[in-house]
Amino acid sequence: MAAISFRQVSKKFGSGAQAVPVIHGVSAEVEPGEFVVIVGPSGCGKSTLLRMVAGLEQISGGHISIGGRVVNQIEPSERDIAMVFQNYALYPHFNVFDNMAYGLRIRKLPAAEIKARVEKAAATLELSELLQRKPRQLSGGQRQRVAMGRAIVRQPQVFLFDEPLSNLDAKLRAQTRLEIKKLHAELGITSLFVTHDQVEAMTLAQRMMVMNAGRMEQFGTPEEVYSRPASTFVASFIGSPPMNLLQHAPGCRTDRVLGVRPEHIDIDTSSSPSGWALQVETVELLGAERLIHARLGAEQLIIRSHEDQGAPALGSTVYARPRADRLHWFDASSGARQ
């Protein structure tokens, strides 16, 4: 296990006056054995940041250290990391055993040790019965487990995951998330996991780094990021559905934005209701809950309600109140939390 330190890390593509900055002074400390998810929309710089840790992209400014050693000028093969890619990157002509063993053979480890490491990893990932199969004989989820097994047998200081679940269907993604979580609990190896999927981030992370346009917007536990978002960007990106952000609701000032989660708005079903008068536009039925899409003047918002509360008619007016202890206020200009 090794700590990972980011100190004012920056990245530019190109040189001179034509250089394009893509990472802007990221600083963060990842503890030994911690599972950190780097999350953000496409193009925010999350994979570039991971590739700089791996040594696949050169660092333009600042430094990255692994286990207390600055790795800016150190070759990828000497960083003691193992990476799991989105596309599996398996050798099609090798069977599962040989795919997992290949890196160890390159390092010239004894055959008995290679066999022991591969068989142990295969047992952990429930691949023992598949060791003689070729990749074409495996499902997508099984191929991704082989890719993880190839990383595990290396016994590295750090695991790097670059959107490894993107090619799987929804059911397999959920299953593989659980496998990765159990795997980390068993091995305890420091891990960085990149994804654009905020559900994956919330499920897997011990702490999460939310990236936006090359900048780190917030670094904290999933609970901290969800309950106290540092900016309107984080508030709108983390959460499904996202936080309602309102500038013209009753009580709002022109220099502030009001944020309230859909589950923190209560509909008044009394005989003499009061609160915000909302025009119902559509209702989504999601099993045990409903998402009510409504309009408050010129602004739209979403309310999450339980199935036993009944569904309002489309076009009807409902009265609702946000919970006073669950309101969030942001600066209207910067988007920063107040």
Q: How many whole angstroms separate alpha carbon 266 and alpha carbon 305?
A: 8
pLDDT at 110: 96
Q: How many whole angstroms separate alpha carbon 332 and alpha carbon 211?
A: 20
Region 139-165: mean pLDDT is 90
pLDDT tens-digit readout, 35-89: 999 999 999 999 999 999 999 999 999 999 999 999 999 999 899 999 988 887 8
pLDDT at 310: 78
pLDDT at 27: 98
Higher-pLDDT residue of 168, 98: 98
Domains of the chain: 4-236 (3.40.50.300), 244-331 (2.40.50.140)
Judged against a pLDDT cut of 90, whether residue 33 lies above it is answered with yes
> What pTM was estimated for this model as a whole?
0.90
Where do the DSSP E strands lie in the chain?
Answer: 4-13, 20-30, 35-39, 61-66, 69-70, 81-84, 158-162, 190-195, 207-212, 215-220, 244-246, 256-260, 265-267, 276-286, 289-296, 299-306, 317-322, 328-331
Percent of the chain with pLDDT over 70: 100
Judged against a pLDDT cut of 90, whether residue 16 lies above it is answered with no
pLDDT at 308: 78
Judged against a pLDDT cut of 90, whether residue 328 lies above it is answered with yes
For 279, the token pair is 């025009």
**Considering the chain, what is the average pLDDT of its residues?**
93
Radius of gyration of the chain from its Cα atoms, rounded to whole angstroms: 24
Q: What is the band of 22 on the pLDDT scale with cuts at 50, 70, 90?
A: very high
